[in-house]
Amino acid sequence: MLNEAKNILTSFVRTIPQTVIGPERVTYIIEHFDERISVEQKLFIHKLFNYILSLMLERQASDIEVGGYGTGGYIWFRVFGKKEKVEDLPQLTLDEASVLIVSLLNRYQCKHLLKTRNLDFSYGFFYDKEEKNVRFRADSYFDLDALALNMRSIAANIYPIENLEFHPNALRMMSHNYIKFGLSLITGITGSGKSTTLDSIIGYHNTMDPAHIVIIASPIEFVHKSNVAIIRHREVGRDVLSFKDGVTQALRQDPDIIMIGEMRDPDTIMAALEVTDTGHKVFSTLHTSSAVESIDRIIAEVNPIEQDRVRNRLADVLVTVISQKLVPTVDGKRILAKEVLIATPSVKAAIKNNNTSEIYMMINQGSPQGMNTMEQDLLRLYKQRKIDRDNAVAYANNKTRMIQLLKAL
């Protein structure tokens, strides 16, 4: 199967005229794929790709890299945080990898990819070994005129929220049953587990809250099955044109909880604040590494003329900020470390008065309310012997403070 699929890719690539160069080779592949590749051949290509993804799951890899100049012709996995070549899989030329990637896309997606040079999408198949459907979040882009692809495995099961070790008060503040409206943020760099935490929160509500939950994401990752709650999934680019449109339209869909995959632009930020103002519970993410940075980022993203108004609105609606990182453990795996901010009256006043620099100390002293800094949580993991001293310092936001805490032991 591997050899036959590889031969199909190689045969197609040989039909590309030598006069077609640079990014036009990808355009040529997209324009001629359907006419040159039969349905049976497409099935062989998909079997090859599904085999590669099955191998990825067996080796507990979180990500896969295919195509583009940077791969050197190899397929790469990220296993427990480390990228590595997979030398027992077939090597692919730049064009062969581009054909493989194009085989996963429909016409609309191909058109979008050529226009914007980037495409977020989701992919899934039935994994025979475990007899279940598995899903992946994918991003295709150009790397020196050739197509490249990153795929991230989406957990097949929701991570129980109890395992995330939130303080009971922090969990209560995020619960729609306890507070019917407000904004809760899950923040962190790419690959820090934000989506996993969000899915755990949605799953938690799905067990005990008879609510209507609307998920707006790019792409949709974990697909929740409605249980106590009814859950709608709207993928940007497929079910709705933009995050802003999804948020605005959700107001007419009788939601109780809206999950916005990412507040990535001023329009989405403003729409999120407005829909929260109307009495809805909103969860979203930001690519920031601390609670204070998250607040500052939201305010900085909007027009300076609007910043005072946004600062006051954010102070009124903010409920919690969870900033998280995945830290290497002593046994070579990864564990969640998190900073937790709860928007107490003092925190809200600091935001309104543009004194966000004071918030770190409020978090530091807020353990009775369920708050903790990243440094305090890293210290907890170190004392439990789950991480070593070097990683405790390396993953701290405030390394000086982290070193002080370690010395005090």
Give the whole-angstrom CA distance, residue 89 versus residue 76.
10
In sequence order, what are the residues at sequence separation of 6 or more whose Cβ sits closer than 8 angstroms to the Cβ of residue 211?
176, 205, 229, 230, 256, 257
> Per-residue DSSP letters for 2-35?
HHHHHHHHHHHHHTS-TT--TTHHHHHHHHHHHH
Region of residue 68 (left: phi > 0; alpha: psi -120 to 50; beta: else): left
Instruction: For 323-382, write each residue's pLDDT tens digit.
Output: 999 999 999 889 999 999 999 999 999 999 999 999 999 999 999 999 999 999 999 999
Q: Which of 164, 168, 146, 169 lies closest to 100, judged by CA?
A: 146
Q: How far is CA 25 from CA 142, 216, 350, in A?
A: 12, 34, 55
Q: Are 263 and 286 in contact (CB under 8 A)?
A: yes
- Residue 302: the pLDDT is 87
At 143, which helix (H) or strand (E)?
Answer: strand 132-143
Distance CA 329, CA 80 (A): 10
**pLDDT for res 1:** 64
User: What is the set of domains in the chain, with CATH numbers?
Assistant: 2-154 (3.30.450.90), 161-407 (3.40.50.300)
pTM: 0.78
User: Quick one: pLDDT at residue 308?
Assistant: 92
Beta bridge partners of 231: 213
- 58: amino acid identity, one letter: E
CA nearest 337: which of 293, 384, 301, 302?
A: 384
Task: Pick out the chain residues at pLDDT < 50.
Answer: none
Report phi then psi at 192, rounded to 5: -95, 5
Quick check: 142 and 129 in contact, CB under 8 A? no
